Structure 1
Amino acid sequence: MPTSDSLPRDAQSILELAARSMFALFSSASEGMMLVDRQARVVWINEQYKRFLPALGFEREEDFVGHPVSMVVHNTQMHQVLETGKPILIDLLTNRAGTFVVSRIPLRDAAGQVIGALGIVLFDHAETTLQPLIDKFALLQRDLDDARRELATQRLQSPGQRQSKYTFASFVGLSPAAVEVKRHARRAALSSSPVLLLGETGTGKELLAHAIHAASSRARGPFISVNIAAVPETLLEAEFFGYAPGAFTGADRKGRDGKFRLADGGTLFLDEIGDMPQALQSKLLRALQEGEIEPLGSNKLLPVNVRVIAATSRDLAGLVRAGSFREDLFYRLNVLPIRVPALRERQADIAALLEVLGEDVALRSGLPPPELTPEALALLEAQPWPGNIRELRNVLEQAVMRSESVRVEAEVFSLVLRESGVQPLQAAPVRTAPVTSAGAAEALPVRPLAEQVAALEAQAIRDAMVALGGNKAAVAKALGISRATLYARLGVSKT
């Protein structure tokens, strides 16, 4: 940028006039402006900004102006602008006054030295003007908070204690179905009532159970999981309630604690609850209602404090009608039901899921992360996936192992699917350029501008992902954004 000394007099005058005009324009048209000096002290605010003072906790302007900006504006990034000399043109700022879309611009003297910074509030009701973007930001921030809380919890837990492995950040996806199930699960985490996770096999029910525990007040307690379908019926009672010394031939002389005792103070996850034998259902009901258990071969009742999360891929209400599942136990478990969507109901999340699954496969196999061709990605997005995410992972892992290179072609996936007994559905042709139609445009309903911008942004990312075969570095470079920003837009957690 030319300095004032290097410009002709008329050009210098125009530059100074432009600077004054732009400052006056932003001051009058924006929702608020502030100036800070080199020491990050607030030196000026305009009239529009003054209306935020009561919400920020200040009655008088002099209680705000003249003080360090970090003391009066929570979550400010003005220090970063002063230290780096680089502007932050668009950002979301959330504090006591609300959520705002803001810009921060460094101010320099004639020698080019940073002497202060200008903060501009572009929108003061971001919740309504940029709702899709706000929703994505809030979801990602909650996932980050969940991950941080889980890490802190794990540091506090004693060595050897069984812990939850996942948080809500682990449930990948920003499709409406994925967002909705996480919203219900987060609400369930605030309660101590039983949760019933309903959904097909491979949809992520166990992951959500871990996440609910990690976000609950019991996060410091143990997380104990039991797959009822995997335990022989003759051993289930001892598995659940433990047994007293000498309860049966071959029993441990010291006795053994069951899963309820191991989960005391934490969460007990009962997977495939629909496979529980009827003889054991009444004892489980008593444990839930009374908060006490009776170990096998004992006549003593032991108190337990356990939060139960159950899951099933079966029609539990149908089992009740058929008489194979106790109605009273069903209603005891069905306090907070959450339906986990099948993968075919959130196909928009497949690209992000493939990214995460691919990195996990690479980590376990020691190979580089796979890169899918546009045709391969389109093929996978076209499949119904009856086995859901578990099937998707299996097909991806097989294809990676068979591929001769890091770049996996659609033909490899087609071969894997056919050998699994699945006839691959024909994928839609890979789109190389957007198709427009004036007649179609006239028929579209009018939507808010912010919603259309968010939709266009999402479509641009999807098109780039297909065109560049899912190569994140290439997509970020082509779109002119950082890889971290791309991960945020895709809803992929790197924690």
Structure 2
Amino acid sequence: MTRKRATIPPSPNNLHTIEQAVRAFSLLRDFFEGAIIVDAQTRITWIDARYRLLLKLAPDFDPIGLPVEEVIPHSLLRRVVETGRPILLDIMNFDDRQFVVCRIPLKDAKGNVEGAIGFVFYDNVDYLEPILQKFENLQKQLTRAQAALIHERQTKYSLSSFVGTSEAVKDLKSQVRRFALRDGAALILGETGTGKELLAHAIHQQSDRADGPFVAVNMAAVPEALLESEFFGVAPGAFTGADRKARKGKFELAHGGTLFLDEIGDMPLGIQAKFLRVLQEGEIEALGSNTVKKIDVRIIAATSQDLEARIADKTFRPDLYYRIAVLTVRIPPLRERLNDIPLLCETLLEQTMRASDQRGWVISPEAIKLLQDHDWPGNVRELRNVLERAAAMAPTEILDAAVIQRALPPSTARQRMPVQLTADLATTLADAERQAILEALATSGGQKSVAATRLGVSRSQFYEKLKRHNIAV
């Protein structure tokens, strides 16, 4: 059955537009290889004889009135008509050939689109080989950069990265798996060095947002003056010296994924209200901008501080606390899962550098027992440091009790005192922490930064512990 062709005559205005386009083409025909015009319905209304030859159309074939795609399958003239925007330079495939083309909308005096005209610059892209090669190289570089950026924003750890087989760890992993299936905000509580960021990665990796970005911010590491721009972004020229291009904030970068806020207890009170509003409204406004953007982000926060105590002394907003503590995970300290130390040592020593002639580190049972008798105020991070120190001091690949004794902080490689059934656990732990702080200060000559490093805690956490235990230095 022969397809009936449209025979609607063009309007007088449209005829005038076509005549103007044809006249313009005739003036510039020496610079082009051919041209074609379509109407507002992208039906062909005119085609240059040279374009017919390029397309290898039969002499008795009349394309007038046909949709342009029936003659030129890869034409983008329909997009130009629908958007009213030109495509000034493009490479169009036709059979086994490539044309360098330009497409321009045709508008009437009122700006209404009445059609479009397409020009063929070259029927052989060899002329553009240097430019195309450069474009291809730039495209490859961009692809590699995007892949690297995506890799950096993906999770680095899974739940299997959290090492341990104790009941405490089994219960923790079971809880994390359940929480990962939900999309509510999560708060991870745990002492320094317990693996809070690792668990945040694991929650994201097992959630429906696993394909989205994972963006981490350490609240203690960002100056207060920069927090607003860090989270919400900066509009072009928002202040003197600002970039002319917009800079995305962490919320926008984490759109569709997870934003991890480490040490949220250090968030200044001044920004907490703005942060709370974002969580409530799901909208952000860049610094210096009047445009509101919708964001879809899951919040995972972590802290080693007592947020309820911070609420009591009015340095942390209770409404923000209830927003971020929808799902709460507590990571047990290493002293509560000492049976995991042999497996942790095996895993950590696999990651510890060794000489090229060594097969691998071996730790003796006596050394393991010595490690299990330590209180570990710095938790797994401190254990890693002790093992690395021991590996550096060991004359062979054998880490025995003598090497571990020297690697442990002074006066801490001691037998644990048995906990009396009548003792208050919180008091016992607080006394142990206070004693460890005093010993670290004594061995560091009163230098707080050195003592904090020995204990495996940040300076801000160390100062908070000094205040909590009423230790004046």
Q: Could you state the TM-score of these two structures normalised by the residue count of structure 1?
A: 0.53
> Deviation string for 1:343-367 (max 9, x for gaps)?
0011111110111100011379996
1:134-283 pair list within 5 angstroms? 158-161=147-150, 162-283=153-274
Q: Are 1:369 and 1:406, in contact at CA under 8 Å, matched by a contact in 2?
A: yes
The one-letter code matched in structure 2 to 1:224 is V
Q: Are 1:362 and 1:368, in contact at CA under 8 Å, matched by a contact in 2?
A: no
Q: Are 2:258 and 2:299, in contact at CA under 8 Å, matched by a contact in 1?
A: yes
Count of residues in correspondence between the two structures = 270
Structure 1 residue 166 displacement after superposition: 0.7
Q: 2:442 corresponds to which residue? A: none
1:254-333 pair list within 5 angstroms? 254-333=245-324
The one-letter code matched in structure 2 to 1:341 is P
For the residue of structure 2 that corresponds to 1:356, the secondary structure is helix
| Change in CA separation of 1:421 and 1:242 when aligned onto 2, cut-off 3 Å | farther
The one-letter code matched in structure 1 to 2:414 is L
Separation of aligned partners in 2, 1:193 and 1:364: 47
The one-letter code matched in structure 2 to 1:204 is G
Match of 2:365 among 359, 374, 382: 374
> Deviation string for 1:427-476 (max 9, x for gaps)?
89xxxxxxxxxxxxxxxxxxxxxxxxxxxxxxxxxxxxxxxxxxxxxxxx
Q: Are 2:154 and 2:213, in contact at CA under 8 Å, matched by a contact in 1?
A: yes
Q: Are 2:215 and 2:259, in contact at CA under 8 Å, matched by a contact in 1?
A: yes
Which runs of 5 or more structure 2 residues have no equivalent in the other structure? 1-145, 418-473
> Deviation string for 1:147-174 (max 9, x for gaps)?
xxxxxxxxxx954211001111111111
Structure 1 residue 304 displacement after superposition: 0.5
Structure 1 residue 213 displacement after superposition: 0.3
Structure 1 residue 369 displacement after superposition: 2.7
Q: 1:398 corresponds to which residue? A: 389
> Deviation string for 1:381-410 (max 9, x for gaps)?
111101000000000001001100000111
> Deviation string for 1:233-281 (max 9, x for gaps)?
1111111111111112322210200110100000000000000001110
Structure 1 residue 414 displacement after superposition: 1.1
| Change in CA separation of 1:199 and 1:382 when aligned onto 2, cut-off 3 Å | same
Does 2:419 align with 1:425? Answer: no
Does 2:406 align with 1:415? Answer: yes
Structure 1 residue 287 displacement after superposition: 0.9
For the residue of structure 1 that corresponds to 2:188, the secondary structure is strand
Match of 1:342 among 316, 330, 333: 333
Q: 2:58 corresponds to which residue? A: none
> Deviation string for 1:87-129 (max 9, x for gaps)?
xxxxxxxxxxxxxxxxxxxxxxxxxxxxxxxxxxxxxxxxxxx
For the residue of structure 2 that corresponds to 1:221, the secondary structure is coil
| Change in CA separation of 1:292 and 1:367 when aligned onto 2, cut-off 3 Å | farther
The one-letter code matched in structure 2 to 1:256 is R
Q: Are 1:203 and 1:389, in contact at CA under 8 Å, matched by a contact in 2?
A: yes
For the residue of structure 2 that corresponds to 1:160, the secondary structure is helix
Separation of aligned partners in 2, 1:411 and 1:362: 20
Separation of aligned partners in 2, 1:366 and 1:262: 45
| Change in CA separation of 1:209 and 1:366 when aligned onto 2, cut-off 3 Å | farther
| Change in CA separation of 1:340 and 1:364 when aligned onto 2, cut-off 3 Å | farther
Separation of aligned partners in 1, 2:265 and 2:227: 14
Separation of aligned partners in 2, 1:336 and 1:365: 46
Larger Rg: 2
Q: 1:42 corresponds to which residue? A: none
Q: Are 2:375 and 2:416, in contact at CA under 8 Å, matched by a contact in 1?
A: no
For the residue of structure 2 that corresponds to 1:248, the secondary structure is coil
The one-letter code matched in structure 2 to 1:221 is G
| Change in CA separation of 1:406 and 1:235 when aligned onto 2, cut-off 3 Å | same
The one-letter code matched in structure 1 to 2:382 is E
Structure 1 residue 426 displacement after superposition: 3.3
| Change in CA separation of 1:179 and 1:370 when aligned onto 2, cut-off 3 Å | same
Separation of aligned partners in 2, 1:330 and 1:304: 21
Q: 2:451 corresponds to which residue? A: none
| Change in CA separation of 1:268 and 1:343 when aligned onto 2, cut-off 3 Å | same
